[in-house]
Amino acid sequence: MSNTSCDTSHFRYPLFTATYSLVLALGLPLNAASLWTFVHRLGLQSVPVIYMANLALSDLLFTLSLPLRISYFATARWPFGDVACMIPGTMFSVNLYSSSLFIAFISVDRLLAVVYPLRSRTLRTPLLAWLSCAGVWLAISGLGVPVALNHRTNWDEGCNVTRCFEHYSDHEWQYGFYILCVVTALGILLPFAVITASTVSVVRKLRTGRVSPAVDKRKMIWMFVTNLLIYAVCFIPFHVAFILYGLYKLKFLKSNYFDAQTVTMCLASTNSCLDPIIYYFSIKNLRRNSDIETMSMGTALNE
């Protein structure tokens, strides 16, 4: 990522160490508790719970890989070997893009439930939700192969130390940049457009349409706004900064965006701590069966 200086005083080392430690401390228990709640208390019987359970699983897998990152940035050396270096880098990408897609699915599900409650019943079934989640995991697993191959250790001859997560060659940057552009378009920008459109449509419906009195409109609106804000803060800045830094590494830009890429990468990592906010507002709107069914009954006359 940076130059080959052996100086470890750059702010990224303490920043990454502190950020990953905080994410681990908060994200691990929050997502473990959320996943337990979805599986054992709610039973994975409704569409929103299925999507949220998969989102919690993605976040949990990422937090479990953080001790390796913390160790590296705390010591600035990697003693764990090549395979261990691939795991945290791959899990970061897996979490980033699976989370973006699961958040998009949650937003679309709410859009269908609020705006088209009756016509969308055949689309909002547990079976189709599970198939959608399986499709996400399959696509993300395919992405994980090239990402893993691009996250191997490298020997820093100038500093006489093994590196991980940084000091990639120009060839690795070029290869990785192509992957980054594709996944940014398909895994970030497209879901962001979907989430934004869904949020606008649902908020407009909740403000002007007739829904069941049992539905807390304020909490529903906050859930959609939270989805959008988490996405805008965690995913968009990182990819903008990463692409700009990639263009610099490939000699297309003169300005070095490494510091911006460092800070926004920390923001991206916090999504696993913020996602439980989505669960809070969602679960608050789940009734005996689910909030979707409640809204469907309350808005049937509007179809």
pLDDT for the residue numbered 72: 93
Q: Is residue 268 over pLDDT 90?
A: yes
* 210-261 pLDDT tens trace: 665 555 677 778 888 888 998 999 999 999 999 999 999 888 998 889 999 9
Q: Is residue 302 over pLDDT 70?
A: no
**For the whole model, what pTM was predicted?**
0.88
Q: Is residue 62 over pLDDT 70?
A: yes
d(CA 180, CA 187): 10
Average pLDDT of the segment spanning 73-87: 90
Q: Where are the domains of the chain?
A: 12-154+165-302
What is each CA distance from 135 to 27, 63, 105, 251, in whole angstroms? 25, 23, 12, 37
pLDDT for the residue numbered 165: 82
- SS3 for 201-241, per residue? HHHHHHHHCCCCCCCCHHHHHHHHHHHHHHHHHHCHHHHHH
* 118-148 pLDDT tens trace: 788 888 999 999 999 999 999 999 888 888 8
Average pLDDT of the segment spanning 8-35: 93
pLDDT for the residue numbered 178: 85
Classify residue 302 by its DSSP letter: G
Between residues 204 and 196, the one the model is more confident about: 196
d(CA 284, CA 218): 11
Answer CATH for 12-154+165-302 from 1.20.1070.10, 3.90.180.10, 3.40.50.1220, 3.40.50.720: 1.20.1070.10
Average pLDDT of the segment spanning 62-70: 95
What is each CA distance from 66 to 54, 71, 73, 88, 176, in whole angstroms? 19, 9, 11, 7, 22
Percent of the chain with pLDDT over 70: 88
Q: Do the beta carbons of residue 295 and residue 110 sit within 8 Å?
A: no
Mean pLDDT, the chain, integer = 85
Average pLDDT of the segment spanning 251-276: 92
Q: Which two tokens stand for residue 89?
A: 């880098």
pLDDT for the residue numbered 213: 58
User: Strand, coil or helix: what is 46?
Assistant: coil
What is each CA distance from 96 to 13, 66, 67, 201, 268, in whole angstroms? 21, 14, 18, 25, 8
Q: Is residue 5 over pLDDT 80?
A: no
